[in-house]
């Protein structure tokens, strides 16, 4: 088996494989990328057993048949440091050789039979999304997702549909974000069935990267109840869905508010950052004091002193004192896009809801901290 490929193609494909493979794999084969001939073309695959990818290498020459597995991160490094635009692979007599302009690399390889099989979905429900809207919705919720794999059901984003509506939800136990929009054309899809599934944080990040790289207006996912598949012959992604019970997010979203505040996003963010200086190293809370058309923010830490900032707001309802982890509030405000935000509160021990005005379907919920 011999084939030639452009350095830039190999570098791109190898970087995708290196991103997918496990960081801590139990078996060395899981660090590998499978390179094989399929339908007269060279295909490269990698998997961490949850997220899998298969790409075409776009070879300019191919002779013979065969398959081998190489360490994905090593392949990426070799490709990046290649000395010419064209690269030649030879896999013969138990030896894998990589040639480019006066250089040879004998690459170690693993047996393709040991590589875990990747079953792309042949049949399932087709879900079509406007690509840029889906990107925005994912970005709205991804940052609140738990980042620790041990958190299981919170190390996921919940996807659910209700008629024309897609809803994504992320949460980490201290905060929750929800984004929903009418994006399905149910008339064009009469047999559309509502779905509800969980996608792990790692798979969500791969999916987001993929969506940002392609240019199509509409992206179609195939869903078979256990897996999600997208892409085409030259770049296909397969995601195994998580099998956990997602917490009931509806219980967390406050039904009523006794205090509603509208304020300027930019000013709020700057002032939050100023008071956050005090508590950054200690994780202390910031106290928010809402009185008529004024918000005072107070923070104190034994070794870093005490900060106190005021800003004008529009307030309806009760005065209120409530405390938050300022890091969480800063992150929510950073992710908002509109110039004005609406904060809603029930009382000092109930969560705050942050909405962007004119974007009613993005909701951020942050649990309060106890005031000392």
Which residues here bind a second copy, judged by CB under 8 A?
A: 71, 74, 77-78, 81-83, 102-108, 270-271, 273-274, 276-278, 280, 303-311
User: What is the closest distance, in whole angstroms, from the C-beta atom of residue 282 to a second copy in the complex?
Assistant: 12
Of residues 89 and 276, the one with the C-beta less far from a second copy: 276
* Element spanning 170, H or E: strand 165-171
Of residues 294 and 347, the one with the C-beta less far from a second copy: 294
In terms of Cβ atoms closer than 10 Å to its own Cβ (0-12, 13-18, 19+), residue 293 is exposed
User: What is the closest distance, in whole angstroms, from the C-beta atom of residue 280 to a second copy in the complex?
Assistant: 7
Instruction: Please state at what angle helix 131-142 crosses helix 201-213, rounded to 10 degrees.
Output: 150
User: What is the closest distance, in whole angstroms, from the C-beta atom of residue 35 to a second copy in the complex?
Assistant: 15
User: Using the 8-state DSSP alphabet, how is residue 370 labeled?
Assistant: P
User: What is the closest distance, in whole angstroms, from the C-beta atom of residue 25 to a second copy in the complex?
Assistant: 14
CA gap 204, 143 in Å, rounded = 11
Of residues 103 and 147, the one with the C-beta less far from a second copy: 103
User: What is the closest distance, in whole angstroms, from the C-beta atom of residue 49 to a second copy in the complex?
Assistant: 22
User: What is the closest distance, in whole angstroms, from the C-beta atom of residue 356 to a second copy in the complex?
Assistant: 23
Of residues 228 and 297, the one with the C-beta less far from a second copy: 297
Q: Which of 75, 8, 6 is nearest to 35 (CA)?
A: 75
Of residues 54 and 300, the one with the C-beta less far from a second copy: 300
Count of CB atoms within 10 A of residue 87's CB?
25
232, β-bridge pairs: 235
User: What is the closest distance, in whole angstroms, from the C-beta atom of residue 83 to a second copy in the complex?
Assistant: 6
Count of CB atoms within 10 A of residue 281's CB?
10
Q: Report in angstroms the alpha-carbon separations of 310 from 294, 307, 331, 352, 356.
A: 7, 10, 20, 19, 21
User: What is the closest distance, in whole angstroms, from the C-beta atom of residue 7 to a second copy in the complex?
Assistant: 12
Of residues 5 and 137, the one with the C-beta less far from a second copy: 5
Instruction: Please state at what angle helix 7-20 crosses helix 72-80, rounded to 10 degrees.
Output: 150
Q: Report in angstroms the alpha-carbon separations of 34 from 45, 56, 60.
A: 5, 12, 19
Q: Report in angstroms the alpha-carbon separations of 350 from 259, 320, 330, 366.
A: 12, 12, 19, 9
Of residues 108 and 283, the one with the C-beta less far from a second copy: 108
Of residues 2 and 280, the one with the C-beta less far from a second copy: 280
Number of H helices, E strands in the chain: 6, 26
């Amino acid at each position: 088996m011999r084939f030639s490929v452009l350095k830039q193609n190999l570098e791109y494909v190898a970087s995708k494989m290196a991103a997918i493979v496990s960081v801590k794999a139990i078996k060395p084969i899981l660090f590998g990328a499978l390179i094989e001939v399929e339908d007269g073309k060279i295909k490269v695959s990698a998997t961490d057993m949850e997220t899998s990818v298969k790409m075409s290498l776009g070879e300019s020459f191919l002779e013979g048949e065969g398959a081998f597995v190489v360490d994905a991160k090593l392949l990426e490094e070799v490709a990046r440091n290649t000395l010419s635009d064209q690269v030649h692979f030879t896999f013969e007599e138990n030896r894998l050789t990589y040639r480019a302009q006066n250089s040879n690399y004998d690459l170690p390889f693993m047996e393709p039979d040991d590589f875990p099989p990747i079953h792309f979905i042949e049949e399932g429900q087709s879900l079509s999304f406007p690509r840029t809207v889906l990107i925005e919705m994912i970005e709205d919720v991804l940052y609140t997702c738990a980042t620790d794999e041990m958190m299981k059901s919170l190390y996921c984003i919940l996807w659910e549909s209700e008629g024309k509506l897609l809803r994504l939800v992320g949460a980490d136990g201290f905060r929750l974000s929800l984004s929903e929009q009418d994006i399905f054309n149910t008339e064009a899809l009469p047999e559309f069935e509502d779905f509800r599934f969980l996608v792990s944080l790692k798979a969500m990040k791969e999916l987001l990267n993929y969506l940002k790289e392609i240019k199509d207006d509409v992206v179609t996912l195939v869903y078979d109840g256990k897996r999600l598949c997208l892409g085409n012959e030259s770049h296909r992604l397969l995601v195994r869905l998580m099998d956990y019970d997602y917490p009931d997010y509806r219980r967390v979203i406050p039904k009523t508010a006794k205090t509603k505040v509208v304020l300027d996003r930019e000013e709020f963010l700057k002032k939050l950052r100023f008071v956050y200086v005090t508590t950054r190293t200690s994780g202390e809370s910031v106290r928010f004091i809402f009185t008529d058309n004024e918000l005072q923010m107070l923070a104190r830490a034994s070794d870093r002193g005490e900060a106190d900032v005021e800003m004008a707001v529009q307030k309806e309802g009760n005065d209120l004192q409530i405390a938050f982890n300022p890091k969480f509030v800063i992150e929510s405000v950073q992710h908002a896009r509109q110039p004005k935000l609406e904060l809603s509160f029930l009382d000092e021990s109930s969560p705050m809801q942050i909405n962007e005005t004119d974007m009613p379907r993005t909701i951020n919920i942050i649990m309060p901290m106890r005031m000392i």
